[in-house]
Amino acid sequence: MASDLLRITGRIATGLLTAGTATVLVLGAALLPPPDSANGASGVPVSPTAAQQERVCAGPLVRLGDELGQQATEVGSFGKPRLSGGTIEKKGAKVTGLKDTDVTSDDGGTSSVVTAPAAESPSTLLGVSQAQVAATSDAAGLAAAECTEGAALSWLVAGATDTGRSTMLLLANPTRVPAVVDLRLYTADGPVLAPGLSDIVVPARAQRILSVAGFAPGQAQLAVSVTSRGGIISASLQQSIVRGLEPGGIDLVGRTTEPALEQIIPGVRITTSDAAEARAQVGGSQDVETVLRLLAPDANASVTIGVTGADGAEGTSLKVDAHAGQVLDVPLGPLADGYYSISLSSTAPVVASARASTVAPPAADTTADVVFGETPAATSDGIGFDVVGPSTTDSSAQTGERIDLAWFAAAGPLADPAVFVTARAASPRLSLTNSGDSPAAVKLTGNGDEQTLELAAGESVQVKLGKEKVYLLEPSAPVEASVSYAGAGALASHPVRAASPLAAPITVYR
């Protein structure tokens, strides 16, 4: 089947958004009294007007100050992300820029909303992604993310604000009404009590950008919940790392699943295990190691963690105790190159994500344009330097190593058709996990092809994908899915999410 693919670069003109009315109808129905069977009340099925589809893109990468460290209290954006979006069937789509209220300088990009007519069938569902390569003196790596629908509650499990680590919280409001946002921020020491975490106003059709270090400086383990009133919010975290004078990776992280007793993280992609393990022994590089981050927000929890490898890769299993409100990073040990599915079973609800890194040798020609995803020609040994800091060994590292990180969010089960679009990034792969007790068949349509994937109970599979292609997933039973990208000095991932059923029929009683 033909697909309608949208590719956008450069500044996007600011315009007006129109929010659908279906949400109002659904919420209104929830306020009606239940049927009175004694009075013979009868229900009347009502099909609300279908709402247009909306996907919110986080926009360009941001930093505090400029590349030289000047104006360190001001937020500036740099570069322009490439947007890729569309439907399996040809359907028109529109891009509307949002106002970045906290950005004082930029390179011409902006956060944006992509809209399309209401979906009439699975093949008309909208999918959008964005990708941006950073290659500056203070930021390097691949940031690829799915453009998502807004939500009243989002959990973001990622980030750090200790030395050399920067985490920015991006709050986009695509609706026509202001949103009032409350944040709950957690660290390894517990919940953060700081002024400014509540009643944050995000204007209509605008984005706010906050530095997490302003609320929780010097923290190596973070998680945050974002709750909105009024307009809904698309929330994401941007984490970047600088080690010494060298950039050490960047990532754009969307929401993970809400707290639950069971969590699945599909498709954790390990690409340079030996190099990453060696680099993790170098002072200041401990966060190169692969870890699981989890948080039990409200109660102590005993958590059983299972790591299952695909393609013969060995995994591991362990049990940990999570204290209520305290973020916990669990090292997963050296994992061989391959794909892994991580399962969590807990005695109290938890949220979770996993972090992995990739380490590539220095580029052959550091003056040439950086091309992520291409392996450079062999180079001579780099210049070793002495290791200082805690938890170090006699290891040395090459100056100019290209390091990137990626956060792999937990994915909710997909029981209904879902559409996703691959970004313009290296080596896209789809990972599917069947965490259920029965077999599942998944029909995958896209890139001019159609195939059915059979997954036994507990099985995971990976599928090679094309760049900037629209794909439709149609599962026979619930499965978890994610898309990852990997290349030399580049790593990124995002889960595949089902669209919200904003125009489902409701029953009104009279």
pLDDT digit string (tens) for 23-62?
333 333 344 455 554 555 567 777 677 788 999 999 999 9
Please state which of the ranges 8-22, 302-316, 486-500 shows the lowest mean pLDDT: 8-22
| pLDDT of 393 over the 50 cut | no
More confident residue, 15 or 318: 318
Close Cβ partners of 104 (under 8 Å, ≥ 6 residues apart)? 71, 74, 75, 76
Kindly state the percentage of the chain with pLDDT values over 70. Answer: 79
Whether residue 131 is contained in a domain is answered as yes
Question: Please, which residues bridge with residue 220 across strands?
Answer: none
Whether residue 229 is contained in a domain is answered as yes
Sign of CA dihedral 220, 410, 255, 111: positive
Q: How far apart are the first and last CA of the chain?
A: 45
Whether residue 71 is contained in a domain is answered as yes
Whether residue 9 is contained in a domain is answered as no
Sign of CA dihedral 33, 228, 153, 299: negative
pLDDT, position 189: 97
Place of tokens 């929890």: 301
Whether residue 452 is contained in a domain is answered as yes
| pLDDT of 277 over the 70 cut | yes
pLDDT band, very low/low/confident/very high, at 225 (cuts 50, 70, 90): very high
Whether residue 474 is contained in a domain is answered as yes
| pLDDT of 13 over the 90 cut | no
Q: Cα(127)–Cα(470) distance, rounded to whole angstroms?
A: 7
The two structure tokens encoding residue 490: 């580049």
Whether residue 5 is contained in a domain is answered as no
Q: Cα(338)–Cα(268) distance, rounded to whole angstroms?
A: 8
Query: Nearest-CA neighbor of 83 among 118, 56, 120?
Result: 56
Average pLDDT, the chain: 84
pLDDT, position 398: 64
CA distances from 172 to 62, 151, 181, 209 (A): 14, 10, 11, 9
| pLDDT of 262 over the 90 cut | yes
| pLDDT of 163 over the 70 cut | yes
Say how far residue 19 (Cα) sits from the centre of its chain: 24
Contact 122, 474 (CB under 8 A): yes
More confident residue, 355 or 66: 355
Whether residue 211 is contained in a domain is answered as yes
Range of the domain at 67: 53-373+399-506
Number of domains in the chain: 1
Mean pLDDT of 205-209: 95
Please state which of the ranges 13-27, 33-47, 62-76, 343-357 shows the lowest mean pLDDT: 13-27
Q: Cα(439)–Cα(480) distance, rounded to whole angstroms?
A: 13
pLDDT, position 222: 98
Please state which of the ranges 5-19, 69-83, 472-486 shows the lowest mean pLDDT: 5-19
The two structure tokens encoding residue 327: 């973020």
